[in-house]
């Protein structure tokens, strides 16, 4: 089976004049490229990088906002045999320095938005030899992306890479401390494409609407399923409900991967009449799927009421598993909404106790997975690697249980479990109940110190715009729908911080609400 870069070259041969990518920008600007253009521009980047001294095993930081050029640069770097190091666009200058130091990056390609952050720490990065700026105006110490590729042709650079070659160094989003560097191989990337295609049955006629940040393993690895069959993708920057619906309508989008907040916003906008379903032709939209975080079953039930004929899937994965797909619900299993699903294509799963022994059905344990997508290692961290990878199994750190049909239900992150008076509280279970309250826009639950019980559950609740909620209303609802020990002891009303992939940033909430008092 060919590698991801070779899939692009094959599409250029088979569908040279067909549209590969569309990019929609603010102000109605639209850019489109064919598979032949995509392939040749990526080759130009590769040839330019080789000409600048980048070779197999070198590391190139890639820090850009979503765009066609992001993907052109991505494939260009891979085609040199170098490692690509994609960075979170929310990283600070210090985060960037941390990633540059660990990766020992030799070069970086950055967008206009990140120049100031690089300037702050550039003098502390002696290993970075060249800076490339993907902008019209590059600072004096950088070469512009356009100038870099000028003079290089679009022929294949001819660098051979194999399945076991290292190719990508991904840094986790950092919601649980310093971002961890995760080393992936070409075989990892290929396995993600195969699994995604097996799950969602992409065809040449599909159009994947790409919304989440491309530096994140999730969205790009989902798109790899479309790459296999040569179907196009549309990149958008307007992620408002109207922006998403209009893109599907205008570009005939057929597959959209949403984060929970975006699906929620669409439902609210429809309910409040801010957008009207009948104003858009959405008959082309065949599949909506969600991942990257726990999905409230109430949200999906409401979605299916409004879009009854649309396929739905839940996808579970980690950067350590090369993105989504190691567990998935399956479009044929909507009756099991609430579960994350069963083992994905070419994956195995187990739920184990602290000693690594399988637990019985219905008993909570740690979810572990095994498949071709399991990362090679945490780079430069053998201790963490040994803790996480055991006999080929990836220990996810997620607590789960299975039902009588083998469907897996995510309970919570192992480190997020709240122990109050000897009883375990799983925040996700409580958050799911809070999301069922009509006036609740978003919710999170964390443990805070308590002198008597060790810690207690605090609910952070963000009411719907224009709605008023009281602590008594929230607690009364919880008492009616939760076991007594699961009911939060306190409720505060505040915004719930989420990272670009929709995950609740609980360290920020703990910093604000769970600091021990002096």
Res 507: pLDDT? 80
Is pLDDT above 80 for 419?
Answer: no
Q: Which residue has tokens 């009303």?
A: 493
Contact 330, 343 (CB under 8 A): no
Is pLDDT above 60 for 516?
Answer: no
Architecture (CATH level 2) of domain 34-184: 3-Layer(aba) Sandwich (3.40)
3-state secondary structure of 513: helix
Is pLDDT above 80 for 246?
Answer: yes
Is pLDDT above 80 for 515?
Answer: no
Average pLDDT over residues 449-463: 83
Q: How far is CA 120 from CA 92, 116, 263, in A?
A: 10, 6, 37
Q: What are the pLDDT digits (tens) for 123-141?
A: 999 889 999 998 877 888 8
Contact 378, 394 (CB under 8 A): no
Contacts 24+ apart (CB under 8 A), 419-426: 419/447, 419/454, 419/455, 420/447, 420/450, 420/453, 420/454, 420/455, 420/456, 420/457, 420/485, 420/489, 421/452, 421/453, 421/454, 421/485, 423/485, 424/364, 425/457, 425/485, 425/486, 426/364, 426/399
CATH 3.40.50.980 spans which residues of the chain?
34-184
- Rounded to the nearest 5 percent, the helix, strand and coil shares of the chain are 35, 30, 35
Res 88: pLDDT? 86
Res 295: pLDDT? 75
CATH 3.30.300.30 spans which residues of the chain?
417-513
Provide the pLDDT confidence category of residue 261 given band limits of 50, 70 and 90: confident
3-state secondary structure of 162: coil
Is pLDDT above 50 for 198?
Answer: yes
Phi, psi angles (nearest 5°) of residue 468: -115, 130
Res 183: pLDDT? 97
Is pLDDT above 80 for 513?
Answer: yes
Q: What are the pLDDT digits (tens) for 69-100?
A: 999 999 999 999 999 999 988 788 888 999 99
Res 397: pLDDT? 87
Average pLDDT over residues 381-386: 95
Strands 30-34 and 19-24, sheet pairing:
antiparallel
Res 518: pLDDT? 41
Contact 410, 400 (CB under 8 A): yes
| E runs forming strands in 269-341 | 287-290, 311-318, 323-328
Q: Which CATH number fits domain 417-513: 3.90.1640.10, 2.30.30.90, 3.30.300.30, 3.40.50.720?
A: 3.30.300.30
The helix (H) or strand (E) run that includes residue 455 is: strand 454-463
How far apart CA 246 and CA 244 sit, in angstroms, is: 5
Res 206: pLDDT? 97
Average pLDDT over residues 260-282: 91
Res 174: pLDDT? 47
* Residue scoring higher pLDDT (174 or 43): 43
Contact 243, 28 (CB under 8 A): no
Mean pLDDT, the chain, integer: 90
Average pLDDT over residues 484-509: 85
pTM score, two decimals? 0.83
Task: Return the CA Rg of the chain.
Answer: 23
Res 176: pLDDT? 46
Average pLDDT over residues 199-211: 96
């Amino acid at each position: 089976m060919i590698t991801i870069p070779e899939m692009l070259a094959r599409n250029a041969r088979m569908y040279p004049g067909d549209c590969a990518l569309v990019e929609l920008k603010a102000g109605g600007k639209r850019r489109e490229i064919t598979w032949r253009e995509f392939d040749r521009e990526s080759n130009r980047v590769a040839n330019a990088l080789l000409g600048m001294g980048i070779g197999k095993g070198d590391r190139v930081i890639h820090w850009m906002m979503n765009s066609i050029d992001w993907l052109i640069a991505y494939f260009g770097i891979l085609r040199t045999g170098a490692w690509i190091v994609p960075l979170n666009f929310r990283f600070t200058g210090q985060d960037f320095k941390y990633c540059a130091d660990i990766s020992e990056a030799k070069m970086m390609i950055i967008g206009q938005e990140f120049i100031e952050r690089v300037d702050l720490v550039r003098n502390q990065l002696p290993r970075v030899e060249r800076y490339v700026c993907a902008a019209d105006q590059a600072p004096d110490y950088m070469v512009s992306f356009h100038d870099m590729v000028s003079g290089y042709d679009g022929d294949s650079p001819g660098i051979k890479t194999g399945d076991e070659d290292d190719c990508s160094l991904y840094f986790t989003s950092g919601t649980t401390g310093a971002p961890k560097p995760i080393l992936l191989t070409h075989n990892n990337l290929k396995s993600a494409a195969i699994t995604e295609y097996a799950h969602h049955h992409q065809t040449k006629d599909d159009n994947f609407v790409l919304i989440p940040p491309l530096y994140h393993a999730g969205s790009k690895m989902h798109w790899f399923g479309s790459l296999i069959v040569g179907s196009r993708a549309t990149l958008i920057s307007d992620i408002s409900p109207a922006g998403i619906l209009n893109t599907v309508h205008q570009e005939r989008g057929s597959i959209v991967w949403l984060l929970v907040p975006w699906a929620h916003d669409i439902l609210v906008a429809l309910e409040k009449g801010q957008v009207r379903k009948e104003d858009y032709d959405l008959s082309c939209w065949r599949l909506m799927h969600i991942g990257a975080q726990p999905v409230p079953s109430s949200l999906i039930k409401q979605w299916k009421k409004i879009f009854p004929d649309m396929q739905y899937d839940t996808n579970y994965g980690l950067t350590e598993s090369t993105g989504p797909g190691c567990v998935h619900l399956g479009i044929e299993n909507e009756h099991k909404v609430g579960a994350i699903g069963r083992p994905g294509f070419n994956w195995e799963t187990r739920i184990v106790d602290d000693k690594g022994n399988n637990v019985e059905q219905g008993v909570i344990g740690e979810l572990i997975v095994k498949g071709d997508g399991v990362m090679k290692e945490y780079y430069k961290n053998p201790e963490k690697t040994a803790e996480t990878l055991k006999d080929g199994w990836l220990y996810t750190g997620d607590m789960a249980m299975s039902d009588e049909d083998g469907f897996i239900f995510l309970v919570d992150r192992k480190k997020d479990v709240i122990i109050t008076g000897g009883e375990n509280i799983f925040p996700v279970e409580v958050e799911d109940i809070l999301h069922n309250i009509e006036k609740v826009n978003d919710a999170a639950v964390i443990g805070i110190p308590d002198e008597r019980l060790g810690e207690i559950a605090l609910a952070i609740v963000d009411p719907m715009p224009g709605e008023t909620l009281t602590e008594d209303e929230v607690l009364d609802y919880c008492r009616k729908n939760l076991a007594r020990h699961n009911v939060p002891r306190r409720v505060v009303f505040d915004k719930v911080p989420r990272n670009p992939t929709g995950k609740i940033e609980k360290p920020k909430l703990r910093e604000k609400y769970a600091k021990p008092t002096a």
